[in-house]
Structure 1
C-alpha cells in the first residue's frame, strides 16, 4: 500500500512539474492575440451559464404543462407556457449564435498564434550555434518543436477554455443537484474518476512513446523525402532504388503503426471499463429518482430537471476531466517547444564589442589555435598558426579532411576555437559583434543555395542592406561571368529560377554556381572566401571566370579553398594542408621547385587532365 502511494505521489509530482508550461503557453497566446483572447474568454463565460438556464426553464415548462393538464387548457395557463417556450428558444438560439461566433474567434486566434510561434522558431533557428545543425539531437529537438508549434498552444488554450466553460456549468449543475441530496454530486464525481485516471495514464504513455519514436519518425520522413523530391529523383531511377526505399519507409511505418495501434487498443479497453462504471452509477441514481417520483416526493418536472442536470453534469464532468487530461498532455508536448526556444548559443557577441574595422589593412592571423568539433575527441586543428596578408589571393589546397572547411567555418565565426585566437589587424574576432564581423566577409560556399526566386533577387540576396539596384546587380553578374547566361533567359533578370514554382526556369549546376558567385561578389566586403568556386564549371568556363576574378579581387583579400591546382597556381600564396596542419607554403613556382607534396600532386593532376 505504501509503495502504491509512493508511485501515485511520484506521478502527481511529475504532473505538477509541467504546470509552468501552462503559464508560458497562455502568455504566448496572449502576446499573439490579446484582443481576440479577451473576446474568447468573455464568450466562454456566457456559454458556460446558458446550459443552466436551459435546465431551469425545462423544469418550469414541465411543471407548467402538468399543471395545465390537471386544470384544463385555457388562455391563462397557455400564455406562460408559450413564454417559457419562447425563452427556451431564445436561449438555444443565443447558444447557436455564440457558438458560431466563438468558432470564428478561435480560427482567427489560432492563425495568429501559429504565425507568432513560427516566428519564434525561425528566430531561434537563426540564433542557435551552427554546431546544432551538425547534431542529430538538435534535429530531434527541432522536429518535436515544429510538430508541436502549430497546434499545441491553441489546443492547450482551447482545452483550458473548455475547462473553464465546463467548470462554470458544472458548478451550477452541482448546485441544482444538491437539492435532491448531497450524495448526488458526489456520485457524479465518482462516476467520472475512472475515465480521468485513464486519460492521465495514457496521456503520459502516448507522450513517452512519441519521444521514443522521434528518430524513427524523422527517418520515415527522410525516406518519404527521397521518394518524392527532385534532388534524388534521377539517381533513384538510374540505380533502381525506388523499391528499396519504399520498403525501408514501409518497414519504419509498420513499426510505428504497430506500436501506436497497440497503445490505442489498450486505451480503448480502459475507456470501455471506465464507461461501464459510469453507466452503473448513473443507473443507480436514476432508479433512486424514479422511486422518489413514484412516492410522490418529487414531481415529473423535478425528474426532468434531475435527468437533464445529471446527464449533462456527467457529460460535463467527463469533459472537464478530459480537458484536464488534455491540458496535461499538451503541457507535456509543449515542453519540447519551450526546450527548443530555451536553447542558448555559445557563439555570442562580447559584452562591449569593439568598433569594427572598415578594411583589412595588415593581416588575418591564426595564433596557436586549437579546435575540435562538439562530441569529438580528436582535434581538427591543433596549435595551428597561419597568416593571411591583406590584398593577396591566398589558395588553400589539400585532400578531403585536411581541415580546409574548418578554417572557413572559423573565419566566418560559425564556431569559436577552444584555444588560441583569430585576429583581424590585431583585433580578436571574439571582440567584434558577430554581425559586424560577418559584414566584412563575403562567401561562396561549396554547396550554395539555389533560391527559387528571380535572377535579380537571387543576386541581391548577397547584400540586402545595400538595397542593390539593377546596375549593381548587373555588374556583379558580369564579374561572375553570369551575364551571358542571364541574357539568354526569357525575362533576363526578372526570370524566375528553379522549378518549384510555376513559370520557373531550371539552370545547370555550373550556371547556378555563376549566379551564386554573382551573389557573393555583390557584397563589397574586404575579405572574399571561395570554397571550391569552380567545382561545377568546365575548364573553358573556369579559365574565363579566373581572369574575371583576378581583376575583381585586385586590392582586396581573397581566400580560395580548392582541389584544382589550375586555380591555385594563380594565387599569390599557396598553403598546402594535411591533417590539420600547413605542411607547405609558397607561390606555384616555389612549390614546384620544392618537389614535395604540391609538386607531386600537380604533376599527377596535369597528367590526368
Structure 2
C-alpha cells in the first residue's frame, strides 16, 4: 500500500484549505462557533473526570467495607458517588446543548456557503457555462460543497472533543507508566495510515468519475422531465437511455465497491495490530495486580481509561481521516469560489448613454471561443445607427449568436472593438451595459411564476406601481393573453407548481417580449422574436413593434425575411462577415443571397410573386388564432 501523499506542496495546500474553511466558518457563524468550541472542550474533559472518579469510588467502597453503618462510612462513599452522578448528568445536558448549537451553526453555514456559490455562479464569465471542465467543477462544488463543509465541521468538532479526552486520559495513564500512552500511539499508526490512504483513493476516484456521474444524471433528466418527454416517447428512446444509465451506474457501483472492499481489508489488518498491542498492555496490568502493586480501584480505573482511550483513539482517527477527506473534497468548492472573471469593469467606468446619438459599431472585430482555434468572427465590421431598427439575417453558424454575446459583453473581442456612441464597450461598467440593454434571447426562460412576475423580471429595479407593466404587455401583443388568463396578471404560469397554467410556445414568446420591453433601455436586441408565431400574429406584432421601438436603437436577429423586411437596414451574415446590406427592396434588386432566400421563403409560404421576388398576394388560409 502506498503512503498518503504528504509532500510539502500537498501539506501546504491542505493548510491553505484548512485556513479557508476556518475563515468561512467564522464568517458564517462567529458567535455560534465560539460557543460550540467551548462546549466541546468541556465535554472532552468529562470522560477523564469519570475515570478519576471511578478510581475514587471503588477505593472508597473498598475502604468502607467492614467499617460498619455510620455517617462517616456513608460520607466516604457518597461524595465521589454524587460527583460521578453530577458528571453523568452534565454529559447528558451538554450533549443536548451541543446538538442545538451545532444545528444552529450548520444552518448558518449552509446558507452562507449556498449564497457564496450562487453569487459566484452569477459573476463568473459566460464561458464558464460553455466548457465541459467548468461543468465538472460546478457539479463538484454544488454537489459536495455545502455537504462537505457541514461534515468537516462535525468531524472537526469530534476530533477536537476526542483530542481533549485523549489528552486528559493520557495524563491518567502516564501515572501507570510512560510507555502505555506510547503503546496507544503505536497501535493507532496503522489505522491512521489506512484511513488517510483510502480517503485519498476515494477522492481520486470521485474526481475522475465526475463526467460519468454527470452523464448518468443527464440520462435521468431526459427520462424524467417534461422537456424531453415527447421525443422520448415518439422516438422510443426510453430503452437506449435506460440502458446507458444502467451501464454508467453499474460501472460507478463496481468501482466504488472495490474501493470499499479494499478499505475493509486494510482496516482489518490495522485492527489486528491494535488488538495485539491491547493484549500486551492488559497482560502487563494484570501481572502488576498479581504482584500487589495495584489496588482494585487502580485496576478498574486503568481498564476503563485504557479501553476508553482506545475507543476514543479510534473515533479520533476516523474523525481525522474524515477531516482530511472532506478537505480534499472542499478543494473543488474553493477552486470554484476562487474563479476570477476576465470580463471585468474598467478602473474608472464611463456612464452608458441614456439615449444613443451615434449608435453601435463593430470595428474590425476578431473573436474565437476559448479552447477553439476557429474564429467565429474575423475582421468583422458593422454599424447600427442610433434610433434605427437593424435586422441581421443569415444561415445557422454565420456568427449571429456570437455577435449578440459580444454586444452584451459576455465576451470581449480578441482583436478590434465594439463601441457605443464612439466609446469602447469595455470602458463601461458591466452592470451598466446590461441594465441599458434589453435582450430577448432565442430560447427565453419560462419562469414558473405569475404573468406579472415574468414581465417585471425584465427590470427588478422598476417601481411596482409604475404603469410600465401594462405598456410592456401591450407593446408585446400579450395584453389579450394576460387578460384572458384565469387570474389575469396574477395567474401562475407553467405546470411545475399547483394551480399553474401552461402556455403555447408563441404565448411564452410574447411574455418574454414583454419582459424585454419592460426595461426602458436605449438598445434593444431581439433574437428570433417571431419564431414561435404564426404569420398573422407576426404581422400584428410587427405593427406594434414600430410603435414600441420609438427612438430606441433596435437589433433583430431573424431567419424570417417577413420580419427582416420591416427593418430600416438589413445585413446578411455569412461565415462571420457581412456580405450584403441595404433595405429589403434594395437587397431584392441586388439579386444576391438575400434575394435568393427571399424568393425561396415566399414560395414555401405560398406567395405569388411579381417576378422580382416581392410578394403580390397571399395564398395562405384566412387568419386564425395566434400562436
TM-score by structure 1 length? 0.97
- Alignment partners' CA distance in 2, 1:16 and 1:556: 56
Contact 1:359 1:440 in 2 (8 A): no
Q: Give, in angstroms, the shift of residue 238 of structure 1.
A: 1.7
Partner residue, 2:196: 200
Partner SS for 2:65: helix
1:440 maps onto 2:436 in alignment: yes
Q: Give, in angstroms, the shift of residue 321 of structure 1.
A: 2.4
- Alignment partners' CA distance in 1, 2:9 and 2:275: 31
Partner residue, 1:266: 262
1:346 maps onto 2:357 in alignment: no
Q: Give, in angstroms, the shift of residue 355 of structure 1.
A: 2.6
- Alignment partners' CA distance in 2, 1:171 and 1:522: 66
Partner SS for 1:420: strand
Contact 2:59 2:296 in 1 (8 A): yes
Alignment of 1:115-514 (within 5 A): 115-469=111-465, 471-514=467-510
Partner residue, 1:556: 552
**In 2 relative to 1, CA 469–254 (structure 1 residues): closer, same or farther, beyond 3 Å?**
same
**In 2 relative to 1, CA 12–588 (structure 1 residues): closer, same or farther, beyond 3 Å?**
closer
Q: Give, in angstroms, the shift of residue 37 of structure 1.
A: 0.5
Q: Give, in angstroms, the shift of residue 78 of structure 1.
A: 2.7
Q: Give, in angstroms, the shift of residue 475 of structure 1.
A: 1.4
Contact 1:114 1:149 in 2 (8 A): no
- Alignment partners' CA distance in 2, 1:566 and 1:541: 12
The number of aligned residues is: 605
Structure with the larger helix share: 1
Counterpart pick for 2:88 among 82, 92, 101: 92
Segments of 5+ residues of structure 2 without an aligned counterpart are: 606-627
Partner SS for 2:409: coil
Alignment of 1:58-97 (within 5 A): 58-72=54-68, 74-97=70-93
Alignment of 1:36-47 (within 5 A): 36-47=32-43
Contact 2:389 2:556 in 1 (8 A): yes
**In 2 relative to 1, CA 188–31 (structure 1 residues): closer, same or farther, beyond 3 Å?**
same
What do residues 32-76 of structure 1 show as CA deviations (whole Å, max 9, x unaligned)?
Answer: 001100110110111011111111111111112222235455443
What do residues 523-546 of structure 1 show as CA deviations (whole Å, max 9, x unaligned)?
Answer: 111111100001111111111111
Contact 2:4 2:193 in 1 (8 A): no
Q: Give, in angstroms, the shift of residue 7 of structure 1.
A: 6.8
Contact 2:386 2:553 in 1 (8 A): yes
Contact 1:365 1:387 in 2 (8 A): yes
1:523 maps onto 2:519 in alignment: yes
- Alignment partners' CA distance in 2, 1:357 and 1:291: 92
Q: Give, in angstroms, the shift of residue 12 of structure 1.
A: 6.7
Q: Which moved more, 1:81-90 or 1:454-463?
A: 81-90
1:28 maps onto 2:4 in alignment: no
TM-score by structure 2 length? 0.94
Q: Which moved more, 1:237-246 or 1:99-108?
A: 237-246
What do residues 64-123 of structure 1 show as CA deviations (whole Å, max 9, x unaligned)?
Answer: 222223545544323332332222121111101101111111111111111101111111
1:605 maps onto 2:601 in alignment: yes
- Alignment partners' CA distance in 1, 2:9 and 2:524: 56
Q: Cα RMSD between the aligned structures?
A: 1.6
